[in-house]
Amino acid sequence: TLTETQTETQTQTQSQSLVRRSASSQQAMRDEHVYGAHNYHPLPVVFAEGRGVHVTDPEGRRYYDFLAAYSAVNQGHVHPRIVDALCEQARRLTLSSRAFYNDTFAVFAKYVTEYFRYDMVLPMNTGVEAVETSFKLARKWAYTVKGVPYQQALIVHCCGSFHGRSMTAITMSCDPSSQDDF
């Protein structure tokens, strides 16, 4: 458990930070239930910090993060090289729309395509974007290369899968609560 001095230090640090945090796990869960949309039903654990495979809740209890944000943090939480690269880039340029060129994307694209021996790369922010793009590419190929008649292409899926919450991806769900009334 946290000592009184640790709690005071934590409170002082939070008051100086630009990031506002819930004071307790109970407060975080209660406030999220009241103010957040109910599109997920999270496990009753609140992540406050993470290092490597471990996460800590606001009360200081430590857990293994076996879910790893659905594999988005397989490298571990707060990986020093990734944090350094993120901070270095954010100090130069926060974000560049693909409507413009920037000085890092071409270097990244060249490296990835050569490393994996791909023709081209289309980076995605989320898994659902990759699913949506794969549908578009498959349908385009079906119509332009395979010769499938217009509006006759089918996408086959298996029940029990999850590909995200876009309208296209959710149509593959066999869970009525994901489809009913949408």
Between these two residues, 19 and 177, which has the higher pLDDT value?
19
Q: According to the model, what pLDDT value does residue 3 have?
A: 56
Question: Rounded distance, CA 54 to CA 77, Å?
Answer: 8
Over range 104-121, report the average pLDDT.
Answer: 96
**Local structure of residue 52 (DSSP, 8 states):** B
pTM, rounded to two decimals: 0.69
| pLDDT tens per residue across span 140-162 | 999 999 999 999 998 888 888 77
Q: According to the model, what pLDDT value does residue 53 have?
A: 97
| pLDDT tens per residue across span 67-110 | 998 888 999 999 999 999 999 999 999 999 889 999 999 999 99
Look at residue 159 and give its three-state secondary structure.
coil
Beta-carbon-side half-sphere exposure of residue 75 (alpha carbons within 13 Å): 7
Are residues 131 and 148 in contact, defined by beta-carbon separation less than 8 angstroms? no
Q: Other C-beta atoms within 10 Å of 126: how many?
A: 13
- Whose tokens are 């290092």? That residue is 51
Q: According to the model, what pLDDT value does residue 70 have?
A: 82
Are residues 138 and 100 in contact, defined by beta-carbon separation less than 8 angstroms? no
| pLDDT tens per residue across span 20-51 | 999 999 999 999 999 999 888 899 999 999 99
For residue 182, pLDDT beyond 90: no
